[in-house]
A and B are shown apart, each in its own frame.
Chain A
Amino acid sequence: MTSHPDVEALAFFAEELLEPDEERTVAHHIETCALCAATLDELTAVSGVLADVPPVPPMPQDVADLLDRRIDEAVRERAGSDDTATETGGPVAPVVPFTRPKKRGFNGMNLPRLMMLAAAGAVVVGGGGAVLNAVMSTQQESAVGGSAAPLLQEEQAEEAVPDAAQPYKPEIVGSGTDYTSKDLADQAADVLDATVPESGYGAEEEAQDGSILIEECAVSLGERLGVRFTLVDDARFEGAPAWVLFAPMGDTTEVYVVDPAGCESPDGVLEQETFTTR
């Protein structure tokens, strides 16, 4: 009586995942235990219940239309970035180190503490503040307006920012923050607050070694997660070097802390947090 295998063991048994010893024991037990034999049947029934859910009808027309339009836009953006980027005021940007704060759009604010901390060798890399703005405002709209709203907004954004095309690059800063698991959301919100999108300067060619790794990490992780990281803080987490990646999702922002050594690995994400964008 005391030796009924638990339900999970039975489920493993059904998948032939048990070690040989254990498998023999369970097989033997089932022969003489009607209760466990019934449970095994019920596990099969669970699969059956899941399989019985009716098939999903084809994609509805409105979703298909929306998808077509978004692909169309992406195609146009791509075409625009190939040959018209310089025509419409999106400069092919030089590297802008932090030591040239005049190049950055602070909207009348003082040079944020963040920038000064970051001045030690960090390089700003980005597709331009306008792009960052476009990405953020677009996502804001889509979060508020549901599935139909983004189109309008994106069309406007596209007109205003013809070079808002991929490959995008996140902005990289070094805030000097030592993030902690406990305060991650607050710390991240502070850093995002202190970071004003740069205005129209990016660095296509002369990014430094470290920032290329960070970019690759941000882009590949973003793809994996289906988000777009617009800002990376090259900082510390719980005392160890870490990259903190920001993905604005409308009125909230997703933050991921990754181990610089393990961006590609599934365990590379050390912490994840969401905070309300201020």
Chain B
Amino acid sequence: MDAVQELPDRELLTRHTQGDDQAFAVLVRRHRDRLWAVAVRMMGDREEASDALQDAFLSAFRSADRFRGESQVTTWLHRIVVNACHDRLRRRKARPSTPTEDDTLDVLSNDRLGRVGGGPDHASQTEARLDVHAALETLPLDQRMALTLVDMLGYRVEEAAQILDVATGTVKSRCARGRAKLLPSLAHLRNPHPPRDVTTGRGGANPS
């Protein structure tokens, strides 16, 4: 037996389409952690990330014969995951008050109540993370996804463009617009002199 574990992605995908029962699972194990990170950051919620990822991998399983090899297998997998997330995010936006988000808000306000000094301790890190997530929720999906890939997860603009299937300039402009929108709610997390229009109540970090 050859070591299936060591075959390149493309070969695994080909074998899968030819009926190999193991190949796809190997591919999944190889990339699942990275794609899990993408799904978690996109969805901001573990359960939803899990659901999106299951959908995406099953979709990839079924549509593997449509992979034409014009991109990397990883790019193709990313695209499927990102599309699955996009779909769920859009649905979530359509009906904004899901229990998940209420929970998030509760945690958010509790954290704020607990904050007194605001030093770089664990609580404020948690708060920062929640702020970031809540702020991202307020962005249009296109901007949110571009920023999540580029700024948050560190993908190069070119990679993000391939994953999102748009031009690099489009990724840049989505990121630029997104950063401009996030500035009032996020800049204070870094900057000692926040602009005047933040920190009123929940400020710009209040989703919907």
Query: B-contacting residues of A (Cβ < 8 Å)?
Result: 6-8, 10-12, 14-15, 17, 38-39, 41-43, 45-56, 58-60, 63-64, 66-68, 70-72, 74-75, 78-79, 82, 142, 146-147, 166-167, 219-220, 222-227, 249, 254, 272, 274
Contact = CB atoms under 8 A, between A and B. Distances in A.
B159 interface: no
A15 B173 contact: yes
A53 B37 CA distance: 12
Nearest to B79: A224
A63 B43 CA distance: 15
B183 A55 contact: no
Contacts of B52: 226
B114 to A, nearest CB: 20
Given A42-B195, A67-B57, A225-B83, A15 B176 contact: yes
B190 A45 contact: yes
Task: Pick the 10 closest A-B CB pairs, nearest first.
Answer: A226-B84, A11-B176, A56-B37, A50-B151, A45-B190, A59-B36, A42-B187, A8-B180, A11-B180, A7-B180
Contacts of B175: 15
B61 A51 contact: no
Contact of B186 (A49, A79, A249): A49
Contacts of B87: 225-227
Interface string B117-160: 00000000100110010000000000000011001101000000
Given A43-B180, A49-B128, A70 B51 contact: no
B72 interface: no
21 contacts: A11-B179, A15-B175, A17-B169, A39-B183, A42-B187, A45-B186, A49-B128, A50-B147, A51-B154, A52-B128, A53-B152, A63-B36, A71-B28, A71-B57, A74-B61, A74-B62, A79-B21, A142-B51, A167-B62, A225-B84, A226-B80
User: Main SS of chain A's interface residues?
Assistant: helix
Contacts of B176: 8, 11-12, 14-15, 17
Contacts of B172: 15, 17
Interface of B: 19, 21, 24-25, 28, 32-33, 36-37, 40-41, 46-47, 50-59, 61-63, 66, 80, 83-88, 90-91, 94-95, 125, 128-129, 132, 147-148, 151-152, 154, 169, 172-173, 175-177, 179-180, 182-183, 186-187, 189-191, 193, 195
A56 B180 contact: no
B39 to A, nearest CB: 9
B58 to A, nearest CB: 6
Contact of A46 (B37, B83, B148, B179): B179
Nearest to A142: B51
Contacts of A71: 24-25, 28, 57-58, 61
B45 to A, nearest CB: 12
Given A12-B173, A67-B54, A53 B132 contact: yes
